[in-house]
Amino acid sequence: MAQLRAFESAAKKGHEMPEIVCYEKQDDWGGQWNFTWRNGTDKYGEPVHSSMYRNLWSNGPKEGLEFAEYTFDEHFGRPISSYPPREALWDYIDGRARKSDVKKYVKFAHAVRWVDFDETSKTFTVNVENLRTGETESGKFDHVIVGTGHFTFPNVPEFDGMETFPGQIIHAHEFRGAESLADKDVLLIGASYSAEDIGTQAYKMGARTVTFSYRSAPMGYEWPEGMEEQPLVEKFDGSTAYFINGLQRTFDAVILCTGYQHHYPFLPSNLALKSPNNVYPANLYRGVVWEGNNQLFYLGAQDQWFTFNMFDAQAWYVRDLILGERELPSREEQRTSIDAWLERFHALKDSDDQIDFQADYIRDLIEQTDYPMFDLDTVAEIFKRWGRTKKEDILNYRDVTYTSVMTGTKAAQHHTPWMLEIDDSLERYLSTPEGDEVRDIWEGREAAQPR
């Protein structure tokens, strides 16, 4: 969506649009944010990319991801809270793209099956299946831009005895909502964003206990009673998990929050990015240009603090390369640049360093393009403050509000504290409930009379 919008923005300024085709496997756009009950397997029997679940609210402040040329104010027409639910974020990215009339470039329900590069003609052949008709087709392209994301293919470790566990074992990618975890003892393996959010969802929906199991280091938050962190599981025997510190405990459900793999099943190995999930994957010049073939680009291949606005910065830069507005340096200079960024990346000590690193990375990209520069340092401060608010109160950090660097607008307080809000619909989010029972309880008032 960022790439289409980037091209359209250039067209509005008089550039000739290249011939563009965007293949999208699903029936609608929005990627990770496009959620229906079919998440998991779609109506064509295809696996769905998105790892979305019910009741997912942004876990980072929206002031950190806001587009510089389509603000939340412009979309919603009034201040909204800093941590919108999934549907509100989908609405925002959909609204921007709809405004720019780029949907016509998208072939929905088209799954890219294989991409080949011909060294003689220097063109890609892209083989695609139209899922609605079952017909295969192929097209020739000078450039391919991979925008499939990298939080789809689960990393699934194995622990001895797993096959004897009588309850449900799933990966976070398969998690669709925590309602069924009420009154259950839940084990989450992993110590990052998925574990933190799914564990919190389970607690919110009434899990009896939530236990996190970490490999390298605990998340270290001040968890409420009923939630705790333990070191790694060694093995399972039936419903009992044995931890490396000698603890034994029985569980009803296990969720593997063990991250994702870069995996591009439609690309030959010489074009497919291989990397752990980090903020500077190797072999990408300026984080987007495939070193081995400069006609291939990746958007959003980094682990992310900034998200939507980083994808924009990348898309605007890729667009200018394709339009010939920018020239790529020699292979040697590309390598020197990658090495310099990698050296800095390897020296990062903590998350604050990573945030500054990503801000500088985006600044470097925006400086190459006409994407509106924004106050990246203040956004970096917002992310650092976000980290501190989580340390202070992991369950309630979503009730904090921030100020947009794009518009100066202070976010509104959501009408209901996040821990008490169990309706994530856009309708409820944008409503102004009066005499709301939940809010009354939260603010210590007598509950309103039943309506």
Q: Residue 54 Cβ, how far from ligand NA7 at the closest point, in Å?
A: 17
Render 138-149 in DSSP notation, one character per residue.
EEEES-EEE---
Q: Write down the least CB distance from residue 154 to ligand NA7, Å.
A: 9
Residues 6 or more apart whose Cβ sits within 8 Å of residue 37: none
Separation CA 276–CA 170 (nearest Å)? 21
| DSSP output for 347-362 | T--SHHHHHHHHHHHH
Determine which residue in the list 55, 258, 295, 334 makes contact with ligand NA7, applying CB under 6 A. 258
Phi, psi of 257, deg, nearest 5: -105, 60
Q: Tokens standing for 393?
A: 């109160």
Indicate whether 275 belongs to the interface with ligand NA7 (CB under 6 A): no
Residues 211/228, Cβ–Cβ less than 8 Å? yes
Q: Residue 261: CA atoms inside 13 Å, Cβ hemisphere, count?
A: 11
Q: Report, in Å, the least distance between residue 254 CB and ligand NA7.
A: 12
Site for ligand NA7 in 29-48 (CB under 6 A): none
Which CB, 258 or 409, lies closer to ligand NA7? 258
Q: Between 209 and 275, name the residue whose CB sits nearer to ligand NA7.
A: 275
Give me the least distance between CB of 305 and ligand NA7, in Å please.
8
Q: Kindly tell me which of 192 and 240 has the beta carbon lying closer to ligand NA7.
A: 192
Rounded to 5 degrees, φ, ψ at 95 are -60, -45
Count residues near ligand NA7 (CB under 6 A). 20
Q: With respect to ligand NA7, which residue has the nearer C-beta, 139 or 231?
A: 231
Query: Residue 383: which of 364, 366, 362, 368 has the closest Cα?
Result: 362
Identify the residue among 115, 131, 188, 257 touching ligand NA7 (CB under 6 A): 257
Q: Which stretch binds ligand NA7 (CB under 6 A): 237-245, 255-263, 410-418, 439-447?
A: 255-263
In angstroms, what is the minimal distance from the CB of 180 to ligand NA7? Answer: 20
Which uninterrupted H or E stretch holds 266?
none
Are 370 and 6 in contact by the 8 Å Cβ rule? The answer is: no
Residues numbered 178 to 237 that lie near ligand NA7 (CB under 6 A) are 189-195, 215-216, 232
Q: How far is the CB of 391 from ligand NA7 (least distance, A)?
A: 17
Region of residue 324 (left: phi > 0; alpha: psi -120 to 50; beta: else):
left
Looking at the DSSP bridge assignments, the partners of residue 138 are: 127
CB of 172 to ligand NA7, least distance (A): 5
Which residues, including other chains, have CB under 8 Å from residue 312's CB and lie 6 or more apart?
A: 2, 5, 6, 67, 68, 69, 371
Q: How far is the CB of 73 from ligand NA7 (least distance, A)?
A: 26
Task: Judge whether 97 and 103 are in contact, CB under 8 Å.
Answer: yes
Shortest CB 230 distance to ligand NA7, Å = 12
Does residue 151 bind ligand NA7 (CB under 6 A)?
yes
Residues 291-330 that bind ligand NA7 (CB under 6 A): 303-304
Least separation in angstroms between residue 241's CB and ligand NA7 is: 13
Closest to ligand NA7 by CB, 100 vs 152, is: 152
Using CB under 6 A, pick the residue from 85, 259, 281, 300 that binds ligand NA7.
Answer: 259
The window from 33-41, 141-149, 151-159, 381-389 that contacts ligand NA7 (CB under 6 A) reads 151-159
Site for ligand NA7 in 340-359 (CB under 6 A): none
Residues present in the chain in total: 451
Q: What are phi and psi of 27, to 5 degrees?
A: -80, -10
Burial of 80: CB neighbours in 10 Å, binned 0-12, 13-18, 19+: buried
Q: 145-160: buried (b, 16+ CB within 10 Å) or exposed (e) per residue?
A: bbbbbbbbbbbeeebe
Q: With respect to ligand NA7, which residue has the nearer C-beta, 72 or 151? A: 151
Output the DSSP codes for 276-321: -S-SS-TTEETTTEETT-TTEEESS-S--SS-HHHHHHHHHHHHHH
Secondary structure (3-state) at 386: helix
Stretch that binds ligand NA7, among 236-244, 256-264, 318-326, 400-408 (CB under 6 A): 256-264
Rounded to 5 degrees, what are φ and ψ at 146?
A: -90, 115
Give me the least distance between CB of 197 and ligand NA7, in Å please: 8
* List 277, 294, 337, 389, residue binding ligand NA7 (CB under 6 A): 277
Q: Which is nearer to ligand NA7, 26 or 358 (CB)?
A: 358
Q: Is the Cβ of residue 289 or residue 301 nearer to ligand NA7 in the bound state?
A: 301
Q: How far is the CB of 354 from ligand NA7 (least distance, A)?
A: 11
Residues numbered 153-172 forming contacts with ligand NA7, rule: CB under 6 A: 155, 157, 172
Question: Is 387 an interacting residue with respect to ligand NA7 (CB under 6 A)?
Answer: no
Which spans of this chain sit near ligand NA7 (rule: CB under 6 A)?
A: 151, 155, 157, 172, 189-195, 215-216, 232, 257-259, 277, 303-304
